[in-house]
Structure 1
């Protein structure tokens, strides 16, 4: 029992003697009071535990070496943590940008696709009957010129004429959506 009191008293004396200096030294390294307080307290405990096992020739030097090492460990950890957070932020930023780009393209494509279909349908309705029939057989039913000519009882040249006529009207009506190469 007497031994425990003496060890406890030694820690109190150790704390009184070195706490302020170890705290100030730690704060000069990490610049954060709360962290410096933790480092100083932990270093004092390490010193006290070491003193209970062996004789420490220079407690002050030992304590400051422990403070320095704990501060360096803290700073290294902060550096790793910062890189990790930055990489997550960068990844999140890239993911967000990619998502936004995809949404922009998808919305734009859907919007343009719908508009193009509406304009094409209206243009098709306005074409003369024979031109419309030829165009629908060619573009929607994918028949060749010879088959269309046979089916409608016109010449292959007549088919080409009607397709050219329909494409000219479509090109004019869809000029805002067609990119020139």
Structure 2
């Protein structure tokens, strides 16, 4: 059919011709609706290139699907709906990308810091446990009763049958030894990090 003749026929007949393989029918649909769909997309999209890309995608899809298309509404409604859904898809994709960027930035800002702190904390706990294990047996026992069990010097003295002063002196010595060892650890941490 000649192009002049196609410009006069209604959309439903034009669509049937296109589905039957008439390239001129597709060109007529394109010429009839591209500008209208662009204006519609442009009203929603801030970026002119995005609006143009969306409309072009819809017409490309229409071209590729051809005979497979099953349009249950009018051609105009189908095209408006297709453009609207492509806009929603693009906006959703951008939101996911923006959310991902925000999450990634948060991880960079906080995650690495938290991870470093957790690693240092674990290393510090391991050093403390190792150094406590190296304390003399009685000193270690009194220190652990004081720090881990939360017993007072008097309670420890009663349990072990020693004086309060002995417990106080042993716990104090244990703390001094651990402080000295931990100074070395903190210097090592500072140098390596």
TM-score (norm. length: structure 2):
0.49
- 1:149 equivalent to 2:174? Answer no
Q: Deviations over 1:127-155 (max 9, x none)?
A: 34443232122223443211212234443
The counterpart of 1:119, out of the listed 117, 121, 127, is 127
**Alignment partner, residue 82 of structure 1:** 90
Q: Deviations over 1:48-100 (max 9, x none)?
A: xxxxxxxxxxxxxxxxxx54x54332221112222333445556677788999
**Alignment partner, residue 9 of structure 2:** none
- 1:138 equivalent to 2:146? Answer yes
1:156-175 correspondence to structure 2 within 5 Å = 156-175=164-183
Superposition RMSD in Å: 4.8
Q: For residues 150 and 81 of structure 1, do their structure 2 counterparts lie closer, same or farther at Cα, with a shift above 3 Å needed?
A: same
**Alignment partner, residue 43 of structure 2:** none
Higher CA-based Rg? 1
**Alignment partner, residue 49 of structure 2:** none
Tell me which stretches of 4 or more aligned residues in structure 1 moved more than 6 Å.
Answer: 38-42, 92-104
1:143 partner SS: coil
- 1:23 equivalent to 2:24? Answer no
TM-score (norm. length: structure 1):
0.51
> Any gaps of 5 or more consecutive residues in structure 1?
1-10, 48-65
- 1:71 equivalent to 2:79? Answer yes
Count of paired positions: 145
**Alignment partner, residue 52 of structure 1:** none
**Alignment partner, residue 51 of structure 2:** none
Q: Distance in 2 between matches of 1:19 and 1:131?
A: 92
